[in-house]
Amino acid sequence: MPWDVIDSIREGDNSTEARLLELCRSLGALRARELSLAVGEAEAVDAGPVAAAFLRSWDQSERFLVVLNPGGQPLPHVALQDPSLPPQATLRLSTHRPLPEDPQVSLADLDLLPYEGLLLSFPYAP
């Protein structure tokens, strides 16, 4: 762990390191309070030929969907149409952009930036 870098990051800093640290803190806080992220099972979800996705779930807890663009090109219109997924989910985190005012996104039409990762959630439904 590069503690000297972490110690040098100041509140309100907009550097790449500060944004990465904030992303890690946000992910850590979510993992600490969400059972699906802490102890849940992970299963692959079909995200087409280029993107990758997996679903984290535990019992009747909220579900978390991770969608990744591992390539250097934008991926417009990624469609996740697995029967276990709802039509919409809440965008919780992005590696590349701030959360929009309305965090509800359609899982049938996601736009991913190069090397972007999204964390989305939706409630458990029997």
Domain spans of the chain, in order of start = 1-33, 36-122
Gap between the Cα atoms of 111 and 88, Å rounded: 14
What is the pLDDT, as a whole number, of residue 10?
64
Alpha-carbon distance values, 118 to 1, 8, 15, 75 (Å):
24, 28, 20, 13
Tell whether the model's pLDDT for residue 121 goes beyond 90: yes
pLDDT, one tens digit per residue, over 96-109 is 998 899 999 999 99
Gap between the Cα atoms of 59 and 91, Å rounded: 21
Question: What is 36-122's CATH topology?
Answer: Immunoglobulin-like (2.60.40)
Question: Tell me, what amino acid is at 104?
Answer: Q
Phi, psi of 99 (to 5 degrees): -70, 140
pLDDT, one tens digit per residue, over 20-76 is 888 888 889 999 999 999 999 999 999 999 999 999 999 999 999 999 999 999 999
Residues 78 and 48: beta-carbon distance below 8 Å: yes
Tell whether the model's pLDDT for residue 1 goes beyond 80: no
